[in-house]
Amino acid sequence: MTTGPGHSDDTYKRTKSQGALNWGCFSIKQRRLIGGYLVGCYVVEDFDGDRSGYEHWNYFAMCNHGNKSSGVDTRKDAIDQAKMSMDYCSTCASLFELHKK
């Protein structure tokens, strides 16, 4: 797991090296509920992918299947969304079903 301050090239370099799909990731973690699959939290203004629909938000979470959560205002909300990737990614939902006891 790698987490650091947002708006930081150093953080973004570290999260990329840990497997983050895009630039702008301030936290990347293997999520236990989905069998250790990676989900990241991103700063909208530093995200180097498609930001359409997120311009008015500060953050979102995105699993490494490339599916994004809804936009949120705070880091804490982004991390909460990172735990819920089964709600916005059908592949994560399948992983969740596979790994739940």
With binding defined as CB under 5 A, does residue 99 bind Zn ion? no
With binding defined as CB under 5 A, does residue 89 bind Zn ion? yes
User: Which of 30, 91, 93, 99: binder of Zn ion (CB under 5 A)?
Assistant: 91
The strand pairing partners of 18, in sequence order, are none
The secondary element (H helix, E strand) that includes residue 80 is helix 75-82
With binding defined as CB under 5 A, does residue 58 bind Zn ion? no
With binding defined as CB under 5 A, does residue 92 bind Zn ion? yes
What Cα–Cα distance (Å) separates residue 84 from each residue in 7, 14, 15, 27, 68?
Answer: 24, 23, 20, 15, 11
Stretch that binds Zn ion, among 5-13, 47-55, 63-71, 76-84 (CB under 5 A): 63-71
Give the 3-state secondary structure of residue 18. coil
Interacting residue ranges for Zn ion, rule: CB under 5 A: 63, 65, 89, 91-92
